[in-house]
Chain A
Amino acid sequence: MKRLPNAWRYLSATFVLAVLGVAILVQIVRIQNSPEVAGVIDQGNYVWKDFYPPRGEIYDRHGSLLAGNKTVYEVGLDMTVKPDMPTVMLALQMSGFDLNEVNYRISQVPANQYIILDDFVSADKADQLMALQKVAHGDPTGKNLDAIYFKAHYGRSYPENDLASNVLGFVTEDNHGYMGVEEKYDNILAGIPVRIPVPADPRRATEYPTIPPGQTIILTIDREIQSAVENILDKALANTGASSGTIVVMDPRTGEILAMSSTPRLNLNDYQSIKTVFPGETPFNRAISQAYEPGSVAKILTMAGALDSGVVKPDTVTFVPQFIVVGGFKIFNWDGGAWGYQDMTGCLANSLNVCLAWVSDREMGSASFYSYMQRFGLGHATGIDLAQEASGRLKLPGDGDWTPVELGTNAFGQGVSVTPIQLVMAASALANNGQMVYPHILYAQIQDGKQNNTKTQIVGTPISANTAHTMSDMLANALESESSTALVPGYRIAGKTGTAQIPLAGGGYDQNNVNASFIGWGPVDDPRFLVYIWLEKPQTNKAASVVVAPIFKQVVEKLVVLLDIPPDAIRLQMIGR
């Protein structure tokens, strides 16, 4: 076979092409696996985009929405297209924007950039501006609003405005929860924002990651009871002239908070006014954040401890003189008088300080007394699932500032500070067969379509069931014997008033003002509710039996209707069937 004369040319060309082809392949492989490719993401082929999941919703125990989400807008202006500023400013003014704020924002950003004019703009306001933009679009003189951009996103909304505001808390524009449930459960409500590269090239469009929304939660709060309690509290403050008030309603069997009201309240849709509504050091929720000397309502704990330890019985009779000396100091009764022979029910019914100081000092002794107070949880935060809980203070023997007289005064709630929720938790032992329940506000949380209910937690059994029943009977008898204005016809209720002096910062007690409280539960044989009421500095009358007991009655009258609790006679008859 004859060889072609130009064969070497073809061979050379083939060789060059083959080398070129291999070089191209090698280069493709190298580029695909090189770190530079990752860098391309940052060079404009991809745009990093933040995906914020919608914040979890908050419902009451019957499914009414207490906190949800709504659409709000970020309104921006693209200065690179040199918009007609007089037209823009006029449109903003007509839509209700604050021009001073807009001008300030424009001045803060270098020219020829995108400027955020306002954020969290309501849909109504944005719609108004969008309508103007539509009208001005295509204006032949160039006086249009095409440079204005709208970016929709979620904002928090509270359909019930200030209802249960002290419990809910609020969410600021940075999507962080503050106070109450919004702060306590911020991590699960907020969800996890995701930052992913979104390809600018639509050919590279890929599936967005599934961004799980914040978890929905259900509270133990019953909005009907909450509303009723808030109305009662507002009227009580108006009628008594009290400076503030708190009402807590709990199911003593489970620890579920059915209502928690505290003054003042904040319209959560206008949380920016918090500093006006809560001036200075005003607590956001007094029920958990303000510790105070409770006074005589604490006597139920002293008596429960004494009965449980066996040092006294309900029919134990003692002589109650005008005063008793404890730790070198004289302790007087509330009226300064002597009350003669009294049994323990009489001591509670007449709220005799001398009797309770005798019980703690002479009968129980400091070790036993303080052991019981600690078992009731005094001096420690309850751990309720709300932000900003205070722990109060129970001074103990051995503490630097404890004095022996406090064994007597602590017995009737002086010299010891507690929050309302602490007393509610402690009293739950008396209403719940000696078992103290953990107070909580979270009924359930929804995750992946499943509802996980919060289980009842028993945090201790400070007293026996027998002692609890005995105490409830004694307190019910005490109310009945004095024909208390707290009593509700048809229902047997246990309860105790408390009128406490207010300690002054410099020592001593305020002679003009008191804290008036009431704690009670019912029906006595099967408690469904436990109510604690505290009015700070009532002006019309200082006696809790006069100013607070009727409020307790109003609350219970609402509760028995809203909780479907028949009068005792009917209920027992039904059970008998």
Chain B
Amino acid sequence: MNNVTQIVQRVRQAPWRIQRQWIGLFLLGLVLMAMVAGIYLNVTVRATLAGRESISLQSMITTNQRINADLETQLAGLISIGSMQERADTMGFQPASPTDITFVAVPGYVAQSAVDLSMPGVTKPAVPIILPEYTESWFDYFINQQASSATAGVQP
């Protein structure tokens, strides 16, 4: 029995075993670091791609807004008073004079009024879409948490 105990004792205290334990610990640390680095890299890449896409989308929005403005102005040019008069002349129309017009009473007819360009549903986009949770640091988070808990504790 003593012999067995001594052998175990020796094996446990053997230099190669101690070295192996140290190597094992080192490798474990390395693996942990690699995991953390991998996760960090993954998150960073995804954040970068999302950021690039965001910038690209914002650029597209700006470009589209400009294209819309261009098209609107081009359309206005095509239906400008000069263009329309030219087309009307080409098609054989003539400006009406008071004597050319016959007025007919139409019950319920509402005369043309000025334009209404109001756009129901359009509201002022004042609230940021990106929540602070996505942008704040750990320190900001803890400080905010502390501030909010402190505020919650205050009785009015």
Contacts and interface: CB of A to CB of B under 8 A. Distances in A.
A204 interface: yes
Interface string B70-111: 101101110111100100000000011110010101000001
Contacts of A16: none
A216 B69 contact: no
Given A159-B73, A223-B81, A488-B98, A62 B114 contact: yes
B21 interface: no
B65 A54 contact: yes
Contacts of A201: 51
A62 B77 CA distance: 16
A449 B121 contact: yes
Contacts of A160: 76, 80-82
Interface string B4-26: 00000000000000000000000
A246 B62 CA distance: 42
B137 A32 contact: yes
B114 A203 contact: no
Interface stretch (A137-145, A478-486, A559-567): A559-567
Given A65-B76, A68-B76, A152 B81 contact: no
Interface in A439-454: 443-444, 446, 448-451
A218 B114 contact: yes
A64 B79 CA distance: 9
A343 interface: no
A451 B76 CA distance: 21
Contacts of B125: 210
Interface in B35-79: 44, 47-48, 50-52, 54-55, 58, 63, 65-67, 69-70, 72-73, 75-77, 79
B47 A62 contact: no
B87 to A, nearest CB: 14
A159 B80 contact: yes
A208 interface: yes
A385 to B, nearest CB: 16
Interface in A27-86: 28-29, 32, 54, 57, 59, 61-65, 68-71
**Most chain A CB inside 10 Å of its own CB: which residue of B80, B81, B97, B122:** B81
A567 B73 contact: no
Given A68-B72, A123-B70, A207 B101 contact: no
Given A161-B82, A202-B48, A218-B115, A152 B66 contact: yes
A449 B55 contact: no
Given A63-B115, A224-B81, A561 B52 contact: no
A123 B63 CA distance: 13
Nearest to A210: B125
B100 to A, nearest CB: 8
Contacts of A570: 103
Contacts of B156: none
Given A159-B76, A203-B44, A216 B103 contact: no
B72 A227 contact: no
A207 B127 CA distance: 11
B3 interface: no
A557 interface: yes
Given A62-B112, A203-B48, A154 B81 contact: no
A560 B48 CA distance: 66
Contacts of B63: 152
**Most chain B CB inside 10 Å of its own CB: which residue of A28, A201, A450, A577:** A450
Contacts of A448: 122-124
Interface in A518-577: 557-558, 560-561, 564, 566-567, 570, 574, 577
Interface string B115-134: 11111111111101110000
Contact of B55 (A57, A123, A202): A202
A115 interface: no
Interface string A279-318: 0000000000000000000000000000000000000000
A205 B76 contact: no
A154 B66 contact: yes
A178 to B, nearest CB: 20
A159 B123 contact: no
A500 interface: no
B98 A64 contact: no
Given A202-B55, A205-B52, A449-B118, A566 B70 contact: no
Nearest to A53: B65
Given A59-B117, A446-B117, A448-B123, A205 B69 contact: no
Contact of B115 (A62, A69, A204, A558): A62
A63 B112 CA distance: 12
B51 A63 contact: no
5 contacts: A28-B139, A65-B73, A123-B70, A160-B81, A220-B114
Interface of B: 44, 47-48, 50-52, 54-55, 58, 63, 65-67, 69-70, 72-73, 75-77, 79-82, 85, 95-98, 101, 103, 105, 111-112, 114-126, 128-130, 135, 137, 139
Q: Which 8 A-B pairs have the closest CB atoms?
A: A449-B122, A205-B51, A63-B115, A65-B76, A159-B76, A202-B51, A451-B118, A449-B119
